[in-house]
Amino acid sequence: RKRKWFLLHIALLVLLSASAGMADIASFAQPFNPIVLNAALIILSVIGYVSACGIPNAGNTIRKRR
């Protein structure tokens, strides 16, 4: 149910990168620039989105009464 949060996170990181570029274009010349850091976080979000597909849900378990 929480896969949509990964997509929101990716969209917000893209907007954050764009706003960092508009604020100070010289920040992209730094060693740890916004593109490198946000790209790493976007990749982690994509991995989380893909891997969240097969996670079991506790609400869907079938239990037998004794």
pLDDT value at residue 48: 92
pLDDT value at residue 19: 92
Whether 43 is in a domain gets the answer no
pLDDT value at residue 8: 95
Total domain count, the chain: 1
pLDDT value at residue 25: 87
Whether 64 is in a domain gets the answer no
Whether 44 is in a domain gets the answer no
Angstrom distance (rounded) from CA 38 to CA 36: 6
Whether 46 is in a domain gets the answer no
Chunked into runs of 10 residues, the chain (66 residues) has average pLDDT values of 89 93 87 89 94 78 74
Angstrom distance (rounded) from CA 45 to CA 3: 10
Whether 14 is in a domain gets the answer yes
Whether 48 is in a domain gets the answer no
Angstrom distance (rounded) from CA 66 to CA 64: 6
pLDDT value at residue 58: 75
Full residue range of the structural domain in which residue 12 is found: 1-30
